[in-house]
Structure 1
Amino acid sequence: MSLIDLTANDAKPLRPSRKKPFFPVKEELNDYLIKHGRAINLPCGYNDLFRFNYAVPLRDKAGNDTYWETVSYDSREWDYLRESLVRIYAALKTEGDLSFTEQLDVARIDFCGFGNSQPFRIRIVNKFNDNYDHYYIKPIDASRVYGLELEHLLSPNRITFLANKDTLVEEHIPGIPGDVFIEQHMHKPDANPIRLAKEFVKFNERCFVRLLGDMRAYNFIVNITPDIEDVQYRIRAIDFDQQSYEGRRNLYLPQFFKENFPFVQTAQKYLNKSSIAQYQAEERTLIAFRIKSSRARIKELLDILRDDIIAPDHKVKQLSEELAEYFNQPTFLRCTTMGQLIESQLKQTLRKSQLLTSQGIY
C-alpha cells in the first residue's frame, strides 16, 4: 500500500452508502459493555430530546450557517432535561460523582439532522467561570459501538462513551476538523508539512488495519501539539458509523477520498516510498503493542464481533473478495461476517510482528 501512486484522477469518486441501517446491540455485546463499565442506566434517552418546541439555525463565529440547529423546550420539559443531562455529564466525566453538579448547567442543546446518526450536542457550562464542555447523545448502533471500542483498544486515543438501551453517549473529541484544517491551517508559514505527511500516513494505516471506513476530512480532527523547536500532529477519527460496513476496500483508506487529497499531495511531495513504508511499519508495531497489552479484552470483543451482523451479506462478500485479491490471500474468502474479516485483517497486516507471532493475534 502506497500513497505515492495516487493522483488526482486516480480512481472513481468514493462515496459511502447514503443511509446505513442501525444494527441492534445483542445480549453478548451488552454484557461486555456492562462488564467494562460502558453500559449504565441513564436518566434520559435519545428519544426524550426530540420533545422540543422549535429550532433555530446555529451560525458559527463568522456568521455562516452550520449543519446544526439550537433547539428549545417548554419550561417543564427543560427543567427535567437540565437535571438529567447534568447527571449524564457527571456519569461520563466523574463516574457519577454528583458533588460537582450544583456548579454545572446546560447552556444549550443542538441538533444535527445531517448525516446518519442525527446527534444531539449538549453544551455543559461551569456557572462559576463560564468554562464549557460538550458531549453527544445519539441512537445506539452496534457497529458504532464496535468502532468506538476498537478505537479505544487499538489506536493511541482513549475513548469514553456510555450505552443504555436505545441511547449512546459520547464525549466530545476536541480538535480542528480536517476540512477546516485544510482551509485555514495547512499552509500557514509555521506548519510542518513533513510531520503532517507522516501523521497522515500513520492515520491511513490505522484505519485500514482495523477497517474503519468513511474517513473524509470532516470525519476526523487534527490536534497540534507544540514540541521542541516545532509542532507535532495527531489525526483522530471522530465518526465511527462506518466501522466495517462497506464492501469496497478503498473506503477504508483515507488516501482515496477526494476531500483528503491535500494531505495526499503533501505526502507525495515530502515523503518517498521508503519513508512511507517505515511509518506504516511503525504504526503496525504500535498496534501490535496495544494488542499485546490488552489481549484478553480484545479477544473478548472479537469473539462477540465474529458472530455479529453489522453489514449485509453482499458487502461482506465484496470486501472479502477485494481483500483476498489485494493481499493474494484466499483465507479472506472463508469469512462470512465483518467480524471475521476484521480478525483476518489484523492477522494479515500484523503477521510480521514479533510481538504477536509466537502467541497469535490475541
Structure 2
Amino acid sequence: MSDEKLMVFKKPTYPINSNLLNYLARYDRISKVPIVYGDLLRFSGSINVYDKNDVDTLWIRVYYNEFERADIDLTLKKIYSLLHSDGNSNIIKYLNVDCIDYCTFGNSKPFRIKIRNILNDNYTHFYVKKADASRIYGLELEHLLSPDKMNYLIYNDTLVEEHIMGIAGDVFIKENLKKCSETEKAQISKEFVKFNERSMIRLLGDMRAYNYVVIPIHDFDQVVYKIRAIDFDQQCFEGNLKVYRPQFFKENYPMVMMIKDKLQINSIEQYKYEERALLAKRIISAGSRTERLMEVMADDVISTDENLERLKMELYNYTLDLNFKKAKSMGKVMAAAFEYITRNFKNTNIFDSNF
C-alpha cells in the first residue's frame, strides 16, 4: 500500500497543556533562556540551500538585520550551552552561529542552527520548532524506551531539539546500500526488523525513509549499522495501524525486499522477540516516570475521535486485549500497549509484522 493512502490528512498541531508542562518541569525540560520560534521568523532575506549535487534541499538560509542578529545569536549560543553544558556561560565566547536555515516544508517548519567552536572549528546543529504535544510525547518516549537518549528543551510554545547524527534513510538506500557487503546487508536487515517492531509497539508513525537515519558504527574489523528515528511528529495520531509499521511505506520497499532476501522467517521472529523483550525491560526499568507520562498522556487530546476509534479496534483485533477496546484516549491506548507488552513479552506472536 502506498503512503498516500496510509496518511490522507495533514496532522494538526496540539498545544502543550498544564499537566504536560508540569511533567516537563519535573524532569528539567523547561528552558531557562527565553527563546520564541516567532522571533526567528522575522528574517529580512534568504537564499536557497543546495546539496553537494546542486539539488535544492528545500531549506533556505535566512538573514536578519544587524541589530536583531546580535540578540538572536546570543540567545542561540545560550540555548546551545543549556543543551550541551548545562548552561555554562563560560563557553559562549568560544561559539559562533555560522548559519540559520529554515525548512519550508513539513509540519514543524523548523529552523536549523549551526553552532561552531571557534577554537577548533568543530560544529554541531540543533533545531528550533513550534512546540507540539504529539512531538513532545514522541521525544519523551524515545528518551525512555529507545537505545538512545533525547536532548530537548521547551519554552512556552517553542521546542529546541538536538540534531541526531546519521545518514538520512532515503540517502542511504539510494547511495550507500548498494555498496554494502552481503554480511552488512544481513545486519541492516536485522536492524530494520527491530526498528519496525519498536516503532509499531510504541506507536510512532510515519517512519518513511527520510524520517529516520542509518548510523554506521566501526567495530573492530567490521561496520555495524543502527537505525534511529529523527522525526516524532506522528506519535499516536493516525488511526491506521499500518502507519506505525515502517515496512508499509513505499520508500522503505528496498529494505523490505532485502529482508526477504537475507533473513529466514525464524530469524525475523527471533529479532522481533528480542526487541519486544528489550522494550518490556525498558518500560519496567523506567518505572514511575513512564507511569507519570502515561497519566498525563491519558488526559490529553492528541488525535481525532475517528483515529482513536479505528486504532483501538485494530489493536483489539490483533491482540484480543479488552484494554485497547476500552481506551478513551490515545494515551490510554499507549498505556494498554505497554501493559500488554510487559505482560506478554515472552509471546513471540505479539504484534506480528507480516514480513
Superposition deviation, residue 108 in structure 1:
0.2
2:219 is equivalent to residue 227 of structure 1: yes
Matched AA of 2:151 = T
- In 2: Cα distance, 1:44 partner to 1:330 partner: 44
- In 1: Cα distance, 2:30 partner to 2:8 partner: 29
Superposition deviation, residue 14 in structure 1:
4.1
- What does residue 42 of structure 2 align with? 51
Matched AA of 1:275 = S
Name stretches of at least 5 consecutive residues in structure 2 with no aligned partner: 347-355
Secondary structure of 1:309's aligned partner: coil
The TM-score, its normalising length taken from structure 1, stands at 0.92
Superposition deviation, residue 11 in structure 1:
6.8
Superposition deviation, residue 28 in structure 1:
1.1
- What does residue 199 of structure 1 align with? 191
The TM-score, its normalising length taken from structure 2, stands at 0.94
- What does residue 138 of structure 1 align with? 129
Matched AA of 1:199 = E
Q: Does the 8 A contact of 2:112 with 2:127 survive in 1?
A: yes
Per the alignment, do residues 179 and 325 of structure 1 end up closer, same or farther by CA in structure 2, a change over 3 Å counting? same
Structure 1 residues 70-93: Cα deviation after superposition (integer angstroms, max 9, x where no partner): 000000010110111100110111
Q: 1:304 aligns with which of 296, 299, 319?
A: 296
Per the alignment, do residues 71 and 335 of structure 1 end up closer, same or farther by CA in structure 2, a change over 3 Å counting? same
Superposition deviation, residue 17 in structure 1:
4.4
Secondary structure of 1:149's aligned partner: helix
Structure 1 residues 162-201: Cα deviation after superposition (integer angstroms, max 9, x where no partner): 0010100000000000000001111104461110000000
1:160-179 aligned within 5 A:
160-179=151-170
Superposition deviation, residue 306 in structure 1:
1.1
Structure 1 residues 305-352: Cα deviation after superposition (integer angstroms, max 9, x where no partner): 111110011110011111111223343111121001111112223422
Q: Does the 8 A contact of 2:2 with 2:250 survive in 1?
A: no
Q: Does the 8 A contact of 1:197 with 1:271 survive in 2?
A: yes
- What does residue 351 of structure 2 align with? none
Q: Does the 8 A contact of 2:241 with 2:314 survive in 1?
A: yes
- What does residue 255 of structure 2 align with? 263
2:306 is equivalent to residue 314 of structure 1: yes
Secondary structure of 1:186's aligned partner: helix
Q: Does the 8 A contact of 2:197 with 2:272 survive in 1?
A: yes
Secondary structure of 2:344's aligned partner: coil
Matched AA of 1:174 = M
For the aligned residues, what is the CA RMSD? Answer: 1.4
Per the alignment, do residues 30 and 353 of structure 1 end up closer, same or farther by CA in structure 2, a change over 3 Å counting? same
Matched AA of 2:258 = T
- What does residue 3 of structure 1 align with? none
Per the alignment, do residues 210 and 189 of structure 1 end up closer, same or farther by CA in structure 2, a change over 3 Å counting? closer
- What does residue 282 of structure 1 align with? 274
**Which stretch has the larger CA shift, 345-354 or 227-236?**
345-354
2:78 is equivalent to residue 100 of structure 1: no
Identity %: 44
Q: Does the 8 A contact of 1:117 with 1:139 survive in 2?
A: yes
Q: 2:329 aligns with which of 332, 337, 347?
A: 337
Q: Does the 8 A contact of 2:281 with 2:342 survive in 1?
A: no
- What does residue 108 of structure 2 align with? 117
Structure 1 residues 95-150: Cα deviation after superposition (integer angstroms, max 9, x where no partner): 10011110101000000020000000001011122221100000011111000000
- What does residue 353 of structure 2 align with? none
- In 2: Cα distance, 1:92 partner to 1:257 partner: 33
Q: 1:41 aligns with which of 26, 32, 39?
A: 32
Per the alignment, do residues 230 and 81 of structure 1 end up closer, same or farther by CA in structure 2, a change over 3 Å counting? same
Structure 1 residues 260-299: Cα deviation after superposition (integer angstroms, max 9, x where no partner): 0111011101111111110011011111221222111111
- In 1: Cα distance, 2:336 partner to 2:258 partner: 31
- What does residue 357 of structure 1 align with? none
- In 2: Cα distance, 1:264 partner to 1:194 partner: 12
Secondary structure of 1:42's aligned partner: coil
Q: Does the 8 A contact of 2:204 with 2:244 survive in 1?
A: yes
2:226 is equivalent to residue 214 of structure 1: no
Matched AA of 2:149 = R
